[in-house]
Structure 1
Amino acid sequence: MKKYLVQFRPFLVFIGTFFAAYIVLTVLYKLYLNSFSTTEVDGITQFVGKNVEHLLEAFGYDVDVQRNIGASGLQVFFQNEYLVRIIEGCNAISVIILFISFVLAFSGKLKATLLYILFGIVLIYILNVVRIALLTVLLFHFPEKGHFLHGVVFPLIIYGAVFILWVIWVNKFSKYAK
């Protein structure tokens, strides 16, 4: 048994670190979310909504993001039409937690790890805001493609970007990079 523990130590350390980081970050995020009632919108989601609103306004669109009274989430009125809803799951925190957990599991030097995590968080956040803004515009013009856009194209973009960030991390900066 000891032979196998030694042989598979790098894999076991990776799995252990990944799940430990994932569980700790998820619990911390859940504690944060539990500080809001079921009809309140958490601060991160509100910030995402405001950034989506500012981005669309910068491109000349008539947009208004409002709190959904009586429910948790934000309503996006685009060109005076209620078009989409931004809920807690749209703020990309779960994706960011996944990203951080993976980078920590393949950690490198402390400074490089922390800087890459910070860079990744900012990039994922920006991509997510752009993703929601584009989805809003596309749903306005192509409402019949809603399921495909929301369920396939845009998750592919965000998870594809995270995958690329992981590949870059492992090959260039982690302690396993050659």
Structure 2
Amino acid sequence: MKKYLVQYKPFLLFISIFFATYIFLTLVYKSYLNLFEPSEVDGITNLVGDHVKYIMQLFGADIRIQKNVSESFLEVWYNKVYFVRIVEGCNAVSIVILFISFVISFSGKWKSTVFFILFGVLFIYILNAIRIALLTVLLFRFPENQQFLHGVLFPLIIYGVVFILWIIWVNKFSKYAK
């Protein structure tokens, strides 16, 4: 047994650090969400909604984003039509937690780890806001493709970018980069 622990120590260390970080950050996030009433929209989701509105207004879109009166989501009104909503799951925090957990489990130097995490979180956040804005426009124009756009294309893009960030991290900045 000891032979296998020594042989697979890097893998076991990675898995242990990854899951410990993931569980810790998830519990912190769930504690944050518990600060809000069930009918309230959390602050991060509100911020994402504000930035989606800002991005769309940059391109002259007729956009209005408002809190639903009875439930915890934001209504997105595009060209005076309500058809999209932003829920807590749209704020990309779960993706950020996954990203941070991976980077920490393959940590490098302290400064580069912190810098890469900050850069990655900001990049994912901006990409997510752009994703929601594009999704709004595309769903307005092509509502028949809702399942493909929301369920396949845009998750593929955001998870693909996170995967590329991970590859960059491991190959350029982690303690395993050579």
Structure 1 stretches of at least 4 aligned residues deviating more than 3 Å after TM superposition: none
Q: Residue 39 of structure 1 aligns with which residue?
A: 39
The residue identity in structure 2 corresponding to 1:163 is F
Q: Residue 102 of structure 2 aligns with which residue?
A: 102
**Distance across 1 between alignment mates of 2:18 and 2:69:** 38
Q: Helix, strand or coil: the match of 2:39?
A: coil
Map 1:1-178 to 2 at 5 A.
Answer: 1-178=1-178
The residue identity in structure 2 corresponding to 1:25 is L
Tell me the TM-score normalised to structure 2 length. Answer: 0.99
Q: CA RMSD in A?
A: 0.4
The residue identity in structure 2 corresponding to 1:34 is N
Structure 1 residue 62 displacement after superposition? 0.5
Structure 1 residue 3 displacement after superposition? 1.1
**Distance across 1 between alignment mates of 2:130 and 2:174:** 29
Q: Helix, strand or coil: the match of 2:66?
A: strand
Structure 1 residue 166 displacement after superposition? 0.2
Gaps of 5+ in 2: none
The residue identity in structure 1 corresponding to 2:116 is Y
**Distance across 2 between alignment mates of 1:8 and 1:141:** 52
**Distance across 2 between alignment mates of 1:165 and 1:37:** 35
Q: Helix, strand or coil: the match of 1:175?
A: coil
The residue identity in structure 2 corresponding to 1:54 is Y
Gaps of 5+ in 1: none
The residue identity in structure 2 corresponding to 1:139 is L
**Distance across 2 between alignment mates of 1:172 and 1:28:** 29
Q: Helix, strand or coil: the match of 1:41?
A: coil
Equivalenced residue count is 178
Give the fraction of aligned pairs with identical amino acids, expressed as a percent.
65
Q: Helix, strand or coil: the match of 1:82?
A: strand
**Distance across 1 between alignment mates of 2:155 and 2:50:** 21
Residues 138-170 of structure 1 deviation map (CA, whole Å, 9 limit, x = unaligned): 011101111110000000010000000000000
Residues 67-92 of structure 1 deviation map (CA, whole Å, 9 limit, x = unaligned): 01110110000000002000000000
